[in-house]
Amino acid sequence: MNPSLLKLYFIMGSNNCIKDPLEVLEEALKAGITLFQFREKGKGAKQKEDKKELAQKMKALCRSYKVPFLVNDDIQLALEIEADGIHVGQDDEHISVVRAQCPSDWIIGVSATNVTEAVQAKRDGADYIGVGPIFSTTTKEDAKKPMGLSGLITVRKSVGKSIPIVAIGGIQFSHIKDILQAGADGISIISAISQSRSPFQSTLLLKQELDLYTR
């Protein structure tokens, strides 16, 4: 995949938002997110048909802005709604199982919380690795201990330059320069956009800062 797609990777579910999730997503799209992941999980998350309906609406929105739409965890849903890819973690379906079921052009991302997992994800053929948490986060209840920037630097050194990496966990505007210098191709954000009173403004500021330090 083109690593520039990871520049500003927005992840969200309805329970992450303080206003209408479709409005939040459209503001983020207007302001220039480069990739989106539908992550409908945790307390109050929509289930079954409600979840599918929201996913379909979000996919349509992403399509209208030509931003790829990925689904978190749920391969069945991703196949049903013809998503552009999926993100799986260490406790989810293995990438080999996903690859065997999905279209060949899907983007498949794999999470890594340490060097061993990152090296394995590369061996397994992940299109990109989601590395984190970098900083502490309250968004993911079962998040591991933060690895810090030093952890991110070590992961990048261990996997080499050929695989795209996106950093995740507790990322704010002020971290951008350090994260890119540590070797990430971009940032994954939930709350810094979804909990903002102006997702549009917050996204725009993040994008401008990212543009300063990338091509």
Ligand X SMILES: Cc1ncsc1CCOP(=O)(O)O
Ligand Y SMILES: Cc1ncc(COP(=O)(O)OP(=O)(O)O)c(N)n1
Site residues, ligand Y (CB under 6 A): 11, 37, 39, 72-73, 87, 89, 92, 109, 111, 130, 140, 166, 168, 188
Number of Cβ atoms within 10 Å of the Cβ of 1: 18
Q: Pick the stretch among 43-51, 77-85, 169-177, 204-212 that binds ligand X (CB under 6 A).
A: 169-177
Q: Is 59 a catalytic residue?
A: no
Name the minimum Å distance from CB 43 to ligand Y: 13
Q: What is the 3-state secondary structure (H, E, C) of 44-84?
A: CCCCHHHHHHHHHHHHHHHHHCCCCEEEECCHHHHHHCCCC
* 140 among known catalytic residues: yes
What gap in Å lies between CA 183 and CA 202, rounded to an integer? 23
User: Which tokens hold the place of 17?
Assistant: 């938002």
Determine which residue in the list 56, 140, 158, 173 makes contact with ligand X, applying CB under 6 A: 140
Q: How far is CA 143 from CA 102, 135, 140, in A?
A: 28, 10, 5
111, 188, 194, 196: the active-site residue: 111
Q: Which 70-89 positions form the footprint of Mg ion (CB under 5 A)?
A: 73, 89
Q: Which of 39, 51, 59, 156 is catalytic?
A: 39
| 170 is annotated as contributing to ligand binding | yes
Least distance in angstroms from the C-beta of 146 to ligand X: 9
Is the CB of residue 71 less than 8 Å from the CB of residue 45? no
Distance between CA atoms of residues 68 and 58, nearest Å: 11
CA distances from 127 to 2, 18, 77 (A): 9, 32, 20
Does 132 engage in binding with ligand X (CB under 6 A)? yes
Query: 143 contacts which partner out of ligand Y, ligand X, Mg ion, none, CB within 5 to 8 A by kind?
Result: ligand X
3-state secondary structure of 3: helix
Closer by beta carbon to Mg ion, 40 or else 73: 73
Select the residue interacting with ligand X from 169, 183, 186, 199 (CB under 6 A): 169
The answer to whether residue 39 is catalytic is yes
Footprint on this chain of Mg ion (rule: CB under 5 A): 73, 89, 92
* Catalytic sites, residue numbers: 39, 111, 140
